[in-house]
Amino acid sequence: MALQQIVEQTVTGLGYDLVEIERSAGGLLRVTIDLPWQPPQEGQPMLPEQFVTVEDCEKVTRQLQFALEVDGVDYTRLEVSSPGIDRLLRHELDFTRFAGEVVDLTLKEPIGAAGEGQVNANRKKFRGTLERAEGGGWQIVWSDEPPVKPGQRVSKKRVPAPLQALGFELDELREARLAPIVNFKGRSGNPA
């Protein structure tokens, strides 16, 4: 049986989602798992986000060690972890789950013709808010305005840079990840 199948069967059999498998030099086998996510049902309250714990990783590690040994998979070290704050987005369900979040996108090919003179035609990398586009698909919305530094005074007369949007299909992406943004002010969102 192939490595992908062994790991996927073991991880899903334990009730987790397989996010990524990575083999590195020196025999390292890195497996990233997450808890299954279901879109909230209409009329149901939004449940708080649950996260993978150390105990979850330990449980999957023990089962994978057994499964990999039975199938004779060659590896030196096994790491099982959660996706982290820069989680990779691969499937349609991932994009649905994280709509409205800030993401980093890398396209396979540059965007081609510049849209209305705003975007460099050779640009492949974007950071912005992930949104569902009208008519299906996905889009990323961003502003090229530099971020305000802490303590910097901003003129009330300053005109903000316009928002830009780029529509894309999942097969056009080389990689999509949640942007690793850490807020040390707490969850309230108040910049106090």
Residue type, position 181, single letter: I
Dump pLDDT digits (tens) for 95-120: 888 888 899 998 888 875 544 445 66
Residue partners of 162: CB distance under 8 A and separation at least 6: 118, 143
Dump pLDDT digits (tens) for 51-92: 888 999 999 999 999 999 988 888 899 999 998 888 888 888
pLDDT of residue 60: 94
Is domain 92-145+159-178 in CATH 2.30.30, yes or no? Answer: yes
Among candidate residues 82, 70, 78, the one with its CA nearest the CA of residue 20: 82
Residue partners of 82: CB distance under 8 A and separation at least 6: 32, 33, 34, 51, 52, 56, 57
The domain segmentation of the chain, as residue ranges, is 3-81, 92-145+159-178
CB 127 within 8 A of CB 107: no
pLDDT at 190 over 80: no
* Cα-only R_g, the chain: 21
- Spatial distance between the Cα atoms of 110 and 104, rounded to a whole number of angstroms: 15
At the top level of CATH, the class of 3-81 is alpha beta
pLDDT of residue 39: 72
pTM of the model: 0.71
Which stretch of DSSP H or E encloses residue 165? strand 164-168
Q: Measured between alpha carbons, how far is residue 172 from residues 31, 137, 139 in Å?
A: 25, 11, 12
